[in-house]
Chains A and B, each alone.
Chain A
């Protein structure tokens, strides 16, 4: 089962690279397919990391722009890993620039997340909103790890490589992130 999944995933990665090579060879349609494949996951990674739709869109555009500037982006790895690495670097740079504003926003979001109203909890839509806020409330490293695991589909080893950390560190961050989310969203589970 694991081997099959791995083989399928390998096939997907191979297809990503083949698509990008086809694009570099002159096939615009290949890029459109590749773009469609990562359209939502990349955008959600940025949106959940930044918490702002407009900022996420700006970075999303920048991310694809950087991918398009490169001739062979996956020389040292997978296209998917390369794509999310660019996204993560852009996010980190962006967060540094607006660090003060972000702290204020996180404080505000944390206040909202820790005190969900009874009405909100009763409605299913609110649980989704609470989840978004709870993710924003997570420490940066934990949030990043959780989002990369959920949105990029990379393995723990690949995430560890991308974040320049050890596999066990990534595993711990993921576990702490889940615990926090479970605590905040206990009423929704």
Chain B
């Protein structure tokens, strides 16, 4: 391409660019911009698609898994699948109280535990260790309420010692539990649910091997044979 050709080409393009004066009408401009706005509004309802659809189902599954594992853990701890509902209730009701205990109170509690005479510890500790979860959870609030009771008694000036208070507060718990358990077994037996009553009795005897059985359910023990592991 010669210089003349280049020059004329530049002049040609300049002439073309000088004539670039036309624009779309403002009506068309506003129509297109309005169309863009409408398309945007149409797209906006689809924006929740950005939230993954699997999120709620994953959350539900996670809640389910946590719930089941929690339940199984409770079952393993208590060894009583039948009384699961009670366990959950007692656990949930006892938790806030447990959380409410302050560190100094816990320290005092530990001291008190150490102050309990050995025979009493033997009496209490095995029971509370082997107690099913409901019984344990029932015992806990009472143990936590012991400082309160102690304070009340001190205020009254009755001079009660700590072990005595504890003994008074804790002894009836397993007894009550055992009694109510036996009552349940007796009710089952009288209702004709012999097998279930035998199973309950077997469990009861594992928990309370030396607890005297009422006469009403003695035949059950005989029917079950060596249900408590003893002939």
Residues of A participating in the B interface, judged by any CB pair closer than 8 Å: 23-24, 26, 28, 31-32, 35, 39-40, 43-44, 47, 53, 56-57, 60-61, 64-65, 68-69, 127-129, 131-132, 135, 150, 178, 181-182, 185, 188-189
Chain B, interface residues (CB within 8 Å), range: 20 to 34
- Bound-complex Cα distance A181 to B19 (A): 14
Selecting from B30-38, B153-161, B202-210, the interface stretch reads B30-38
Q: Assess whether A188 is in contact with B37, with CB atoms less than 8 Å apart.
A: no
Selecting from B40-48, B55-63, B83-91, the interface stretch reads B40-48
Q: Assess whether A128 is in contact with B15, with CB atoms less than 8 Å apart.
A: yes
B119 at interface, CB cutoff 8 A: no
Q: Assess whether A43 is in contact with B24, with CB atoms less than 8 Å apart.
A: yes
Selecting from B4-12, B71-79, B175-183, the interface stretch reads B4-12
Q: Assess whether A44 is in contact with B20, with CB atoms less than 8 Å apart.
A: yes
**Nearest chain B residue, comparing its CB with the CB of A179:** B5
Q: Assess whether A182 is in contact with B47, with CB atoms less than 8 Å apart.
A: no
Question: What residues on B are CB-neighbors of A26 within 8 Å?
Answer: 40, 43-44, 47
Question: What residues on A are CB-neighbors of B32 within 8 Å?
Answer: 35, 61, 64-65
Q: Assess whether A39 is in contact with B29, with CB atoms less than 8 Å apart.
A: yes
Q: Is the interface of B mostly helix, strand, loop or mixed?
A: helix
Question: What residues on B are CB-neighbors of A178 within 8 Å?
Answer: 9, 12
B16 at interface, CB cutoff 8 A: yes
Pick the residue among B12, B18, B33, B36 that contacts A189 (CB under 8 A).
B12
Most chain A beta carbons < 10 A, residue from B18, B24, B28, B44:
B24
Q: Assess whether B9 is in contact with A44, with CB atoms less than 8 Å apart.
A: no
**Nearest chain A residue, comparing its CB with the CB of B5:** A182
B143 at interface, CB cutoff 8 A: no
Known A44-B20, A178-B9; judge A127-B15 contact (CB<8 A): yes
Residues of B participating in the A interface, judged by any CB pair closer than 8 Å: 8-9, 11-13, 15-20, 22-25, 28-29, 31-33, 35-37, 39-40, 43-44, 47
A-B contact pairs, 29 of them (CB 8 A): A23-B40, A26-B43, A28-B40, A32-B33, A35-B33, A43-B22, A44-B22, A53-B22, A56-B24, A57-B24, A57-B25, A60-B24, A61-B32, A64-B35, A64-B36, A68-B35, A68-B39, A127-B15, A128-B18, A128-B19, A129-B19, A132-B19, A135-B16, A150-B13, A150-B16, A181-B16, A182-B12, A189-B8, A189-B11
Question: What residues on A are CB-neighbors of B23 within 8 Å?
Answer: 39-40, 43
| Further pairs besides A44-B22, A57-B25, A64-B36: 9, Cβ < 8 Å | A23-B40, A24-B43, A26-B43, A28-B33, A28-B40, A35-B36, A39-B24, A57-B28, A61-B28
Q: Is the interface of A mostly helix, strand, loop or mixed?
A: helix
Q: Assess whether A68 is in contact with B36, with CB atoms less than 8 Å apart.
A: yes
Question: What residues on A are CB-neighbors of B13 within 8 Å?
Answer: 150
User: Which 9 pairs, one residue from A and one from B, show the smallest C-beta to C-beta distance?
Assistant: A128-B19, A64-B32, A189-B11, A43-B24, A31-B36, A68-B39, A57-B28, A189-B8, A131-B19
CB distance from B73 to the nearest CB of A (A): 46
**Nearest chain A residue, comparing its CB with the CB of B19:** A128
Question: What residues on B are CB-neighbors of A129 within 8 Å?
Answer: 19
**Nearest chain A residue, comparing its CB with the CB of B40:** A28
- Bound-complex Cα distance A185 to B18 (A): 14
Q: Assess whether A23 is in contact with B15, with CB atoms less than 8 Å apart.
A: no
Question: What residues on B are CB-neighbors of A43 within 8 Å?
Answer: 22-24
Q: Assess whether A28 is in contact with B36, with CB atoms less than 8 Å apart.
A: yes
Q: Assess whether B20 is in contact with A40, with CB atoms less than 8 Å apart.
A: yes
CB distance from A90 to the nearest CB of B (A): 14
Pick the residue among B11, B24, B35 that contacts A65 (CB under 8 A).
B35
Question: What residues on B are CB-neighbors of A23 within 8 Å?
Answer: 36, 40
Question: What residues on B are CB-neighbors of A132 within 8 Å?
Answer: 19
